Amino acid sequence: MKHSTLLLISILISLAVASCSPEKSPPMPASHAAASSMKNAANTDYRTQMPYGSAPRNPDLGLPSNFSKSSGVTFSRVSVPGPYVALTFDDGPHASNTPRLLDILRARNVKATFYVIGKNVDLYPNIVRRTVAEGHELGNHTYTHPKLSALGQDRVFSEIRKCDDAIMRAAGVRPRTLRPPYGALTQAQRVSIHSTFGYPTIMWAVDPLDWKRPGVSVVTSRIVSATSNGSIILVHDLHASSVDAMPATIDALLRKGYKFVTVSQLLAMGGSASASINPQPSALAQSQVGE
């Protein structure tokens, strides 16, 4: 009798367990049915993936971007009244790295400035359009990325004009600043480009040498330690490892209280007399002119 009681109990337990199990399976066919019935419905639940987890957010700034032509010919940083910095990305657009970077920036409400190569603009006009649509600024980085300081004025102007036109064709906007490839531009060239195109030459105050691929954490620590108010920061969105370094870099700067603005916003904030010029490239350019 004892054995049969135990048997009965064990049967009852197994029935109870069994009765729980089927309750787990019905959602499968139900969800399949729901999915098939929603095939043609808009997917309103979709949200852009935030691949790096929750991120701090750059504040909405809405700052003016109209800088005066008289504010200066060359800038590597700008004297600003607060913790404002400009992130700049050179040599794109790149088919996969630039869209990935745009996702990273969008997740943090960060607006940056992209010094694009005209040839790449012609290859990827959709990426350029997206860049503008998401509030970023485009800058001129020439059409084929030559060393401008080694070229005559006709070639220099043609390189700049062709890039300008490519940007206009792709995105319907004109760039307002120039970054010379390799930073190579004589002082005389800077002055003539400024008077002809209205472009100030934009150098940089923070250079992590990311193109040498020193490693993601090195890029981040170099940028974070060298950045101060008014810094123009140089990065290359051509390289996957540079883009890999951006989430941690941007988040660290945001946590330190920095606010990201475009180059034009930074220049507009600086006013006319307060723009400071990086002495090194100017001195180099002067000596090249002298020679």
94 is catalytic: no
Task: Confirm or reject binding of residue 92 to Zn ion (CB under 5 A).
Answer: no
Task: Confirm or reject binding of residue 159 to Zn ion (CB under 5 A).
Answer: no
Task: Confirm or reject binding of residue 237 to Zn ion (CB under 5 A).
Answer: no
Least Å distance, CB 117 to Zn ion, is 7
Q: Of 40-48, 71-79, 122-130, 177-185, which segment contacts Zn ion by CB under 5 A? A: 177-185
How many CA atoms within 13 Å lie on the side-chain side of 114? 35
The alpha carbon dihedral of 143, 144, 148, 154 has a sign of negative
Task: Confirm or reject binding of residue 90 to Zn ion (CB under 5 A).
Answer: yes
Task: Give yes or no for a contact between 287 and 84, defined as CB atoms under 8 angstroms apart.
Answer: no
Task: Give yes or no for a contact between 269 and 84, defined as CB atoms under 8 angstroms apart.
Answer: yes
Please select the residue that binds Zn ion; options are 92, 175, 181, 230, rule is CB under 5 A. Answer: 181
Q: Of 23-31, 39-47, 84-92, 253-261, which segment contacts Zn ion by CB under 5 A? A: 84-92
Give the nearer residue to Zn ion in terms of CB position, either 90 or 237: 90
Closest CA to 55 of 134, 5, 8, 109: 109
- Residue 260, phi then psi, degrees to nearest 5: -95, 130
Give the nearer residue to Zn ion in terms of CB position, either 72 or 181: 181
Please select the residue that binds Zn ion; options are 75, 91, 102, 111, rule is CB under 5 A. Answer: 91
Distances (CA, A) of 181 to 140, 141, 201, 253: 10, 6, 11, 26
Give the nearer residue to Zn ion in terms of CB position, either 58 or 140: 140
Q: Of 12-20, 41-49, 124-132, 178-186, which segment contacts Zn ion by CB under 5 A? A: 178-186
Give the nearer residue to Zn ion in terms of CB position, either 58 or 74: 74
User: Which parts of the chain fold into alpha helices (H)?
Assistant: 2-24, 27-37, 97-107, 118-123, 125-133, 153-171, 187-197, 216-226, 240-255, 263-270, 279-290
| Total residues at interface with Zn ion (CB under 5 A) | 3
C-alpha 151/C-alpha 181 separation (Å) is 12
Task: Confirm or reject binding of residue 210 to Zn ion (CB under 5 A).
Answer: no
Cβ atoms within 10 Å, residue 148: 25
Least Å distance, CB 175 to Zn ion, is 14
The one catalytic residue among 90, 91, 164, 244? 90
Q: Is 136 helix (H, G, I), strand (E, B) or coil?
A: coil
Cα dihedral value 165, 236, 65, 260, nearest 10: 160
Least Å distance, CB 90 to Zn ion, is 4
Q: Of 151-159, 175-183, 189-197, 215-223, which segment contacts Zn ion by CB under 5 A? A: 175-183
Give residue 63's Cα distance to chain centre: 18
Task: Confirm or reject binding of residue 200 to Zn ion (CB under 5 A).
Answer: no
Judging by DSSP bridges, how do beta strands 201-202 and 74-75 pair with one another?
Answer: parallel
The one catalytic residue among 94, 136, 236, 239? 236
Least Å distance, CB 183 to Zn ion, is 9
90 is catalytic: yes
Task: Confirm or reject binding of residue 244 to Zn ion (CB under 5 A).
Answer: no
Task: Give yes or no for a contact between 261 and 64, defined as CB atoms under 8 angstroms apart.
Answer: no
Give the nearer residue to Zn ion in terms of CB position, either 91 or 164: 91
Q: Which parts of this chain interact with Zn ion (CB under 5 A)?
A: 90-91, 181
Indicate which residues carry an active-site annotation: 90, 236
